[in-house]
Amino acid sequence: LLTHSVTQWVPQGVLGIWDTCPETLRFRLSGFPRKHNEGRIEVFYKGEWGTICDDDFSLANAHVLCRQLGFVSATGWAHSAKYGKGTGKIWLDNVQCSGSERSVSVCKSRGWGNSDCTHDEDAGVICKDERLPGYVDSNVIEVLVDENKVEEVRLRPVFTIATKRMPVTEGVVEVKNKDGWAQICDNGWTPKNSRVVCGMMGFPHEKKVNKNFYKLYAERQKNHFLVHSVACLGTEVHLAACPLEFNYGNATESCPGGMPAVVSCVPGPLYAQSTAMRKKLKMQSTVRLKGGAKYGEGRVEVLKGSEWGTICDDRWNLLSASVVCRELGFGSAKEALTGARMGQGLGPIYMNEVQCTGHERSLWNCRYKNITAEDCKHTEDASLRCNVPYMGYEKTVRETWYWDSSNVTEMVMSGVKCTGDEMSLSQCQHHRTVNCQKAAARFSAGVICSETASDLVLNAPLVQQTTYIEDRPLHMLYCAAEEDCLSKSAAKANWPYGHRRLLRFSSQIHNIGRADFRPKAGRHSWVWHACHGHYHSMDIFTHYDLMSANGTKVAEGHKASFCLEDTDCDEGVSKRYECANFGEQGITVGCWDLYRHDIDCQWIDITDVKPGNYILQVVINPNYEVAESDFTNNAMKCNCKYDGHRIWVHNCHIGDAFSEEAEKKFEKYPGQLNNQIS
């Protein structure tokens, strides 16, 4: 019986360990914005993490370091703290490798701890996204078993109707090795084995199989049994992580009875064929994923009381991640990600050091510690990627290509409106019959895909703290009128006499995503506004609305992005964008842009509003002009009470911060819960 020993490391970022030095060195990639295969290089030496200075740094150095991190090679390197400044020691300086060294410790340098650098010179590396053979970290399981390697597992359906249905939920279990596909003998096959296979296929549960049919099927087939027996615990994320006994004799006679293992899986609500199962998807869950680019991945958030919060990544692993994946109707976990890899969350952090056995029905059933103020920050938010069912199409975009539209002969869809939650375009709202006035091929829709995106969120407490009323004289509002920042009745006012009543507040907009927020248009197409003496990179960056209790808009405002810049940033993050001297505009990951309450158009004109109870609603990036990983947190709302002279603002929060039940109690009109306009 061959058993599997999996060497795992629990890193902050990506971690590797090599024992070729007198003292064991550990390496990790840190900082942001970054992907899992790039970042500031940090070394653990003499009990302390430290950085490497960029003096004399080269691609050869990066090759050595990437190999120590478990990647095959480097594709580049970064200087001047591109991924943010580190802290603590600068362990190495003037490092000079040839590129063939097994460890950076044998490369030429000034010696450990001997440096004249500051953290402004911290080096970073960009590694090729390909692991060294046999390398396993805590995020991705790939197990080598003696000379046999279970590379892939599949369910091969045998019913004719099942071969045409997606996803495939039942069939013969087949494994692939160097010689091709083969079966597994079902001697001693258990529901725990089926659970592991179903998890790999993207399904949360297994069910019993009618073996009588498959026995008749097996008698008519010539089977090739690669694996003689399997003994899973049921918590493994891959069949290769289970104890397996491989067949080394006659492959067709090694299974008494000649019956191949058959598995039947229960799909999650999202992939269920029945309407009843799909309705379960709409039920309120206490766990959700946010910030992912596709189904089955994202930052893990849990509901406690009526407010959503995140969990800390301390001791976060595949067992705990798999519990979340199955709870949400997916399979086992593919990756357990640390270091806010799916962006930083907002609000409370509820759980720390989560420890699941893998059998729990809910994350709340696992052991965990409650958070104290010094335990965790949102830079340590845990996230994951789940195994999801194969739906008959490629899951990733493998290349960028040019489409020659001259070959297109007809339009197949028009009027397409998606909420973003659909499995395919056919599930989106669209015209029953194609109705496209501009039928030429050059009017065909197209997309540009990206692995990462920004994620803008408004600081709701700051809005509540800074809201006030100002009666501003008309003679001070000419520029605001030119930019259409006043209500329509202002056009009939007796200019320059009189005033307008303005509801003013500050907007602090954070980018908590994984890519910088950049204006859709380049500088060449920005619009100059002579009155204020600045350019607008986006005509409408934010909508400001005052709503009645039943949802009727009673007053509105908007803010053009005359200047998108990094006003300030989180610790360790450097500013990249500023508007001075016609500079580049944007908001860096980990930074925020502040529109103060005392600048023009940072208001709603409420001159015509009568006293009463209202809802203040702010929506960022309302026209979806710039891609974001999560539009559901772009809307913020507050309760307002206006007596004709003063205004009271309370209960300001992001649209998806509370449970559905709590939202329903938000006056009569729940507001726009997200930026998905129906």
Q: What is the CATH number of the domain that holds 340?
A: 3.10.250.10
The last residue of a domain, from among 93, 127, 161: 127
Whether residue 299 sits in one domain with residue 255: no
**pLDDT for 17 beyond 90:** no
Q: What is the mean pLDDT of the chain?
A: 81
> Coil, helix or strand for 565?
coil
Task: Supply the range of the domain harboring residue 326.
Answer: 280-386
Structure tokens at 72: 């095959």
**pLDDT for 488 beyond 50:** yes
**pLDDT for 139 beyond 70:** no
Domain count, the chain: 5
Alpha-carbon gap, residue 546 to 615, rounded angstroms: 6
The type of residue at 283 is M
Q: What is the mean pLDDT of residues 75-94?
A: 89
49: confidence class by pLDDT, cuts 50, 70, 90:
confident
406: confidence class by pLDDT, cuts 50, 70, 90:
low
- Would residue 380 count as lying in a domain? yes
Whether residue 364 sits in one domain with residue 327: yes
Whether residue 514 sits in one domain with residue 419: no
What pLDDT, on a 0 to 100 scale, did the predictor assign at position 279?
Answer: 55
563: confidence class by pLDDT, cuts 50, 70, 90:
confident
Task: Give Dmax over CA atoms of the chain in angstroms.
Answer: 99
Q: What is the mean pLDDT of residues 289-307?
A: 88
**pLDDT for 110 beyond 80:** yes
Beta carbons of 309 and 347 less than 8 angstroms apart: yes
The type of residue at 38 is E
**How crowded is the C-beta side of 177, counted as CA atoms within 13 Å?**
19
Whether residue 473 sits in one domain with residue 577: yes
Structure tokens at 272: 């269920």
Helix H or strand E segment including 322: helix 318-327
Whether residue 99 sits in one domain with residue 197: no
Q: Which of 18-32, 111-125, 278-292 has the highest mean pLDDT?
A: 111-125
Whole-model pTM: value is 0.66
| Least confident segment among 12-26, 260-274, 297-311, 501-515 | 12-26
Q: What is the mean pLDDT of residues 122-139?
A: 76
Percent of the chain with pLDDT over 70: 81
What pLDDT, on a 0 to 100 scale, did the predictor assign at position 471?
Answer: 93
What pLDDT, on a 0 to 100 scale, did the predictor assign at position 138?
Answer: 37
CA angle centred on 621, ends 500 and 611, rounded to 5°: 30
Alpha-carbon gap, residue 268 to 282, rounded angstroms: 12
Whether residue 356 sits in one domain with residue 285: yes
What pLDDT, on a 0 to 100 scale, did the predictor assign at position 22?
Answer: 42
- Would residue 626 count as lying in a domain? yes
12: confidence class by pLDDT, cuts 50, 70, 90:
very low
Whether residue 436 sits in one domain with residue 466: no
Alpha-carbon gap, residue 153 to 226, rounded angstroms: 12
> What is the per-residue pLDDT across 494-543, written as a single tens digit (0 to 9) for each?
888 989 999 999 999 999 888 899 988 877 788 777 777 777 788 788 88
Percent of the chain with pLDDT over 90: 35
592: confidence class by pLDDT, cuts 50, 70, 90:
very high
- Would residue 240 count as lying in a domain? yes
141: confidence class by pLDDT, cuts 50, 70, 90:
very low
Whether residue 253 sits in one domain with residue 181: yes
Alpha-carbon gap, residue 223 to 257, rounded angstroms: 11
The last residue of a domain, from among 420, 443, 466: 443
> What is the per-residue pLDDT across 629-668, written as a single tens digit (0 to 9) for each?
888 888 999 999 999 999 999 989 887 776 666 666 655 4
| Residue 5 or residue 16, greater confidence | 16
Whether residue 578 sits in one domain with residue 546: yes
Element counts in the chain: helices (H) and strands (E): 8, 35
Rounded alpha-carbon distances, angstroms, from residue 202 to 136, 354, 398, 422, 661 = 21, 23, 21, 18, 30
What pLDDT, on a 0 to 100 scale, did the predictor assign at position 493?
Answer: 86
- Would residue 136 count as lying in a domain? no
Q: What is the mean pLDDT of residues 107-121?
A: 92
- Would residue 673 count as lying in a domain? no
What pLDDT, on a 0 to 100 scale, did the predictor assign at position 382?
Answer: 93
> Coil, helix or strand for 82?
coil
Q: Which of 145-149, 443-447, 585-589 has the highest mean pLDDT?
A: 585-589
**pLDDT for 405 beyond 60:** no
Q: What is the mean pLDDT of residues 433-444?
A: 70
> What is the per-residue pLDDT across 229-268, written as a single tens digit (0 to 9) for each?
888 999 998 888 888 887 765 555 567 766 889 999 999 9
**pLDDT for 275 beyond 80:** no
The last residue of a domain, from among 76, 111, 127: 127
| Residue 124 or residue 452, greater confidence | 124
**Partners of 604 in beta bridges:** 503
Whether residue 369 sits in one domain with residue 232: no
- Would residue 612 count as lying in a domain? yes
| Least confident segment among 41-50, 234-243, 244-253, 306-315 | 244-253
- Would residue 59 count as lying in a domain? yes
> For the CA atoms of the chain, what is the radius of gyration?
29
- Would residue 10 count as lying in a domain? no
Structure tokens at 383: 């996230």
Whether residue 297 sits in one domain with residue 261: no
Alpha-carbon gap, residue 644 to 556, rounded angstroms: 17
319: confidence class by pLDDT, cuts 50, 70, 90:
very high
> What is the per-residue pLDDT across 517-529, written as a single tens digit (0 to 9) for each?
998 887 778 877 7
Beta carbons of 111 and 601 less than 8 angstroms apart: no
Whether residue 651 sits in one domain with residue 541: yes
